[in-house]
Chain A
Amino acid sequence: MKLIIFAGPPTCGKTTVIRQVVRRIIKKNFKPAYLKIDVLYADEDEQLKREFNIPTKKIYSGELCPDHCNVVVLDEVVEWAEQKGADFLFVETAGLCLRCSPYIENSLGIVVLEATSGMNLPRKIGPMLTLADISVITKIDLVSQAEREVFRYRILEAAKEITVVESNALYGIGIDPIVRDILKSKDIEHPMFLKGNPPVGTCTICVGKKEIGAKNHFGVLRTMENDLFYVGE
């Protein structure tokens, strides 16, 4: 089975891209499965189940960071998809964190970015972009040619090796090159490893200490003037 992870900021068009990809994968007589990880609300799994009658699953990360959730549940979801006889497992992440990435070593990582989100976005989103294999730009019909060029240029500036695909996913334009790369991608290798390095340390804020100010925390800290330092054992 092949694992394909889709990331990207909320409302960027991930589901629309996935829907077009799934349609084409089914046409080629493959069986896809789909997992949606989100924080509070998602109904994309139900939509895809209704539309394509494929095995789908939804996991709310709730108290956990959604990418963290992805890391701790993915092995079980892969097992589930394999039991369902899937050839492809598509994972749609909540796409909130700009510090880590949800991609898995040797599996295909796809970041979806909307052209309308401004020319600086590629400079802002870090590993979600730089560790992806393909960057799909959606809603290209809404922005000026000039901004599209700047957007594309800045993606390549941040991630030199990335494949950039411009698409108008609503109309199924620009989807075929993505499907081609998905078909060419490698099967899952066990054990699975997260691509890239996660953010630093165990965070006291993540575990519920809400007091403001470095003096109230331990671990890797910084103050306004000083760079990172470490407090603790």
Chain B
Amino acid sequence: MEIAKITVIGGIGKDGQPEKVKRFDLKMGDIISIVGPTGCGKTTLINDIELFANNNTPSERRILINDEPIPDDFSFDPSKHPIALISQHTNFLSDLPVGEFLKIHAKIRGSDSAELMIEETLDFANQLTGEAIIRETAMTELSGGQTRSLLIADAVIIGNSPIILLDEIENAGIHRTKALKLLKKYEKIFVFVTHDPRIALLSDFRIIMKNGAMQKMITTNAEEKVAAIGLKKIDDVMLEFRKLIRAGEEITDSIFAEQIEDLAASYKIYLKRRKS
């Protein structure tokens, strides 16, 4: 099935009241975020998408593909499943070496150029993680960040899933800026469940959740897009401090001042740009 669009049709919140957001569409190439406090139902929403809910989950939401519901008895051929979900709990359990595991997955996905795909996947993953993943490492030996990076790379390249759901990946120690940049190159639907303002502002729109219900939908406007650039700068400063601390450096007055001045300088540029 060629997927061009999926639609989420609102159901009810935890209090049984209809959701304020009645529906939204996701088209190929869209990046969206789901935000809200812990326990507000963000994960339930992406679970509904993942299972193509059809009024058969507690939320009573419905998911349409190309404007059609998925028939109840429809089951996807595992080699063609269109959705990959990477959650906070998702893990590799197999103790196969990374290379061998990727080969099995590529084979099931019907790839005839497994070797190339494995290389591309590892290359992708290694751009997201600090410590490079080696082919011979057992999957269960990978660190949290390496695991998350490989999960994403595998879903994008070998799985080639048109729809990728990422549940709070910012907590996993991966390089977010690079991740977003890399992901944008692929014409897919990315749905982020996130607490990270940068990911939220780099999305095309965001859904705000409250008490199990979709409360509001905000399209990222021009002003927010500029703010996102500023946030990136703040984030970079934080990363710089992290790098220094990791490397065993002391954060002296002059190092601190240097970073903050840097930040102030970019804020001035930002103000100037806004005026013009």
Q: Which residues of A contact B (CB under 8 A)?
A: 116, 118-119, 141-150, 152-153, 156, 163-165, 168, 171-174, 176-177, 180
* Bound: A140/B108 CA distance, A: 18
Contact B161 A145 (CB under 8 A): yes
**B85 within 8 Å of A (CB atoms):** yes
Instruction: Give A77 Cβ to nearest chain B Cβ, in Å.
Output: 31
Decide: A173 near B51, CB < 8 A? Known: A145-B154, A146-B101: yes
30 of the cross-chain contacts (CB-CB < 8 Å) are A119-B94, A141-B87, A141-B89, A143-B90, A143-B92, A143-B93, A144-B151, A144-B154, A145-B81, A145-B84, A145-B85, A145-B90, A146-B159, A147-B92, A149-B79, A150-B104, A150-B105, A150-B108, A152-B78, A153-B78, A153-B108, A163-B75, A171-B44, A171-B47, A171-B57, A172-B57, A173-B51, A173-B57, A176-B72, A177-B72
Contact B91 A143 (CB under 8 A): yes
Instruction: Give B220 Cβ to nearest chain A Cβ, in Å.
Output: 28
Instruction: Give B152 Cβ to nearest chain A Cβ, in Å.
Output: 10
* Bound: A19/B89 CA distance, A: 24
**B73 within 8 Å of A (CB atoms):** yes
Contact B47 A168 (CB under 8 A): yes
Instruction: Give A173 Cβ to nearest chain B Cβ, in Å.
Output: 6
* Bound: A163/B73 CA distance, A: 10
* Bound: A176/B72 CA distance, A: 9
Residues of A within 8 A of B51 (CB): 173-174
Instruction: Tell me which of B58, B81, B89, B161 contacts A171 (CB under 8 A).
Output: B58
- Counting residue pairs across A and B whose Cβ atoms lie within 8 Å, the total is 82
Centre residue among B73, B89, B93 by max chain A CB count within 10 A: B93
Q: Which residue of B lies closest to A156 (CB)?
A: B78
Instruction: Give B109 Cβ to nearest chain A Cβ, in Å.
Output: 8
A contacts with B: majority SS: helix
Decide: A141 near B90, CB < 8 A? Known: A149-B78, A164-B75, A177-B73: yes
Residues of B within 8 A of A164 (CB): 75
Which 8 pairs show the lowest CB-CB distances between chains A and B? A152-B78, A145-B84, A149-B78, A146-B105, A176-B56, A153-B78, A153-B108, A146-B154
Contact B90 A180 (CB under 8 A): no
Residues of B within 8 A of A116 (CB): 93
**B114 within 8 Å of A (CB atoms):** no
Instruction: Tell me which of B58, B73, B87, B93 contacts A172 (CB under 8 A).
Output: B58
* Bound: A176/B51 CA distance, A: 12
Instruction: Give B173 Cβ to nearest chain A Cβ, in Å.
Output: 17
Instruction: Give A217 Cβ to nearest chain B Cβ, in Å.
Output: 36
Instruction: Tell me which of B58, B78, B91, B158 contacts A142 (CB under 8 A).
Output: B91
* Bound: A118/B93 CA distance, A: 6
**B86 within 8 Å of A (CB atoms):** yes
Instruction: Give A72 Cβ to nearest chain B Cβ, in Å.
Output: 37
Q: Which residue of A lies closest to B155 (CB)?
A: A145
Centre residue among B56, B78, B90 by max chain A CB count within 10 A: B78
Instruction: Tell me which of B57, B87, B94 contacts A118 (CB under 8 A).
Output: B94
Q: Which residue of B lies closest to A167 (CB)?
A: B51
Instruction: Give A215 Cβ to nearest chain B Cβ, in Å.
Output: 38
* Bound: A174/B104 CA distance, A: 27
* Bound: A66/B85 CA distance, A: 38
Residues of A within 8 A of B109 (CB): 149
Residues of B within 8 A of A171 (CB): 44, 47, 57-58
CB under 8 Å from chain A, chain B span 86-114? 86-87, 89-94, 101, 104-105, 108-109
Decide: A144 near B90, CB < 8 A? Known: A150-B104, A171-B47: yes
Contact A144 B47 (CB under 8 A): no
Residues of A within 8 A of B56 (CB): 176
Q: Which residue of B lies closest to A120 (CB)?
A: B94
* Bound: A147/B105 CA distance, A: 8
* Bound: A64/B101 CA distance, A: 40
- Apart from the given pairs A148-B78, A180-B72, 13 other A-B contacts in the complex at a CB distance below 8 Å: A141-B47, A141-B89, A143-B93, A145-B81, A145-B84, A145-B85, A149-B79, A149-B109, A150-B105, A165-B75, A171-B57, A177-B72, A180-B73
Instruction: Give A29 Cβ to nearest chain B Cβ, in Å.
Output: 19
Instruction: Tell me which of A147, A153, A176 contacts B94 (CB under 8 A).
Output: A147
* Bound: A174/B87 CA distance, A: 18
Contact A149 B105 (CB under 8 A): yes
Residues of A within 8 A of B104 (CB): 119, 150
* Bound: A116/B92 CA distance, A: 9
* Bound: A148/B87 CA distance, A: 14
* Bound: A141/B89 CA distance, A: 7
Instruction: Give A155 Cβ to nearest chain B Cβ, in Å.
Output: 9
